[in-house]
């Protein structure tokens, strides 16, 4: 990326722990604030044809101590079939205000959703259901019926394996990687 | 995605051709306007370990009649090695102002870059070079030297194979797919 930065460097880019903290602050804000960039990460998966796929998802929960992130989906959506075959996926957030790119390599597991359905607001339940299933061809956009189906509500638990962070600074770019196997201590990388 | 829409439906969501036009208008704007959402798509690839990868790129050119998009990169960046192994990738743009998600499935080829280097502004040439190579571990962020190297300037030509568009509207979501094999005529999909 070569577009020019607009602002001076914030203090948190100077240290690995500062960068790491900043990422988790942004992720936590994404759960709480629907206008925050981390509210809508891009989830990349390996498609059934072997190529890459990407789509926007909504970040529903994060747990820094466990290093996990939660996404909700319709069980019949294409990404579920893709993740069943290849659970290694990526979550991507680009926060233009702080010029910070967060690349999270994750492994995705499907959580037991018992007792969770009751906590989903009624209006949101329409995201889990519908006929025909997501991605099915329609003769007209009106040939689709909204339904809700608790059986199609699925929670994706994304366990962070590796975090690649890039800050585009005025005095130069900073990049670092944080690995689960090294307890997320972090190492600087060439940008 | 279940966050509630803010605005009424625009006229272009009513027809397949309207949706298709809107996507290309947004892509063209991304090339011209560095503040447009399509300026910075997310490029998803299949990583060397078989999992998915994603990172922000800068959209440099689009050609609607050919159905191609151009991205510039350092030849030593990780995505180049990934694309050499698996050229099927995805470009993703989420335009929150119009609540439009664009998912482009592409095949990526490497263009001959002779005569192109002269057109790259000097300040931008620093994106193609640097020692050590992108992603190499550093003891300190200062152990990195900026250099420019025309040999490391690479143009990725992304040929659109399939476009999956989703509009999150107040009266319901609209989704459609446009395939190269069908001359991008388009078909409605269940959202």
Residues of B in contact with A88 (CB under 8 A): 47, 49-52
Tens of pLDDT, residues A69-90: 999 999 999 999 999 999 999 9
pLDDT of B6 over the 60 cut: no
Q: What pLDDT is attached to residue B191?
A: 96
For the CA atoms of B30, B36, B39, B40, the dihedral, rounded to the nearest 10 degrees, stands at: -150
Quick check: A58 and B88 CB within 8 A? no
Distance CA A169, CA A25 (A): 19
Quick check: A135 and B105 CB within 8 A? no
Quick check: B132 and A50 CB within 8 A? no
A140: nearest CA in chain B?
B188
Assigned CATH topology for domain A11-120+152-189: Pnp Oxidase; Chain A (2.30.110)
How many Cβ contacts (< 8 angstroms) between chains A and B? 187
Q: What pLDDT is attached to residue B3?
A: 54
Shortest Cα–Cα distance, B148 to chain A (Å)? 13
Tens of pLDDT, residues B95-135: 989 999 999 999 999 997 878 999 999 889 999 999 999 99
Q: What pLDDT is attached to residue A1?
A: 52
B132: nearest CA in chain A?
A190
CA separation (Å) from B32 to A95, B37, B59? 21, 11, 9
Burial of A180 (0-12, 13-18, 19+ CB in 10 A): middle
Q: What pLDDT is attached to residue A171?
A: 83
A91: nearest CA in chain B?
B54
CA separation (Å) from B166 to A56, A126, B49, B108? 10, 16, 30, 23
Shortest Cα–Cα distance, B111 to chain A (Å)? 19
Kindly state the DSSP code that residue A191 receives in the 8-state scheme. Answer: -
Quick check: A141 and B3 CB within 8 A? no
pLDDT of B5 over the 50 cut: no
Q: What pLDDT is attached to residue A8?
A: 74
Residues of B in contact with A44 (CB under 8 A): 42, 44-45, 52-54, 90, 92
CA separation (Å) from A48 to A51, A78, A82, B168? 7, 9, 6, 25
Distance CA A40, CA A91 (A): 10
A57: nearest CA in chain B?
B1
The residues facing B55 across adjacent strands are: B43
Residues of A in contact with B134 (CB under 8 A): 189-191
Of A44, A135, A136, the CB nearest to B52: A44
- Give the mutation candidate from B54, B59, B90, B133 for the A interface (greatest A CB count, under 10 A): B54
Can you list the residues of chain A whose pLDDT is less than 70?
A: 1-7
A85: nearest CA in chain B?
B51
* Domain B11-117+150-189 part of CATH 2.30.110.10: yes
Q: What ipTM goes with this model?
A: 0.95
Tens of pLDDT, residues B136-153: 999 999 999 999 999 999
Of B3, B54, B174, the CB nearest to A34: B3
Q: What pLDDT is attached to residue B1?
A: 52
Domain boundaries, chain A: 11-120+152-189
Peptide bond into B95 cis (omega under 30): no
Quick check: A52 and B135 CB within 8 A? no
User: What is the SS3 assignment for A26-45?
Assistant: HHHHHHHCCCCHHHCCEEEE
**Interior/surface letters B1-25, b for 16+ CB within 10 angstroms, e for the rest:** beeeeeeebeebbeebeebbebbbe
- Give the mutation candidate from A15, A18, A51 for the B interface (greatest B CB count, under 10 A): A51
């Amino acid at each position: 990326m070569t577009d020019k930065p607009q602002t001076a460097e914030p203090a948190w880019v100077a240290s690995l722990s500062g960068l790491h903290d900043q990422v988790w602050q942004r992720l936590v804000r994404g759960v709480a604030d629907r206008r925050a960039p981390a509210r809508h990460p891009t989830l990349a998966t390996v498609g059934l044809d072997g190529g890459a796929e990407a789509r926007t998802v909504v970040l529903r929960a994060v747990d820094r101590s466990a290093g996990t992130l939660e996404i909700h989906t319709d069980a019949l959506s294409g990404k579920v079939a893709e993740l069943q075959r290849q659970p290694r996926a990526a979550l991507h957030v680009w926060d233009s205000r702080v010029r910070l790119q967060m690349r999270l390599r994750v492994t995705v597991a499907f959580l037991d959703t018992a007792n969770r359905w009751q906590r989903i607001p009624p209006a949101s339940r329409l995201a889990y259901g519908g006929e025909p299933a997501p991605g099915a061809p329609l003769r007209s956009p009106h040939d689709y019926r909204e339904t809700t189906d608790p059986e199609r509500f699925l929670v994706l638990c994304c366990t962070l394996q590796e975090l690649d962070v890039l800050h585009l600074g005025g005095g130069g770019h900073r990049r670092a990687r944080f690995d689960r196997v090294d307890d997320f201590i972090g190492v600087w990388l060439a940008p």
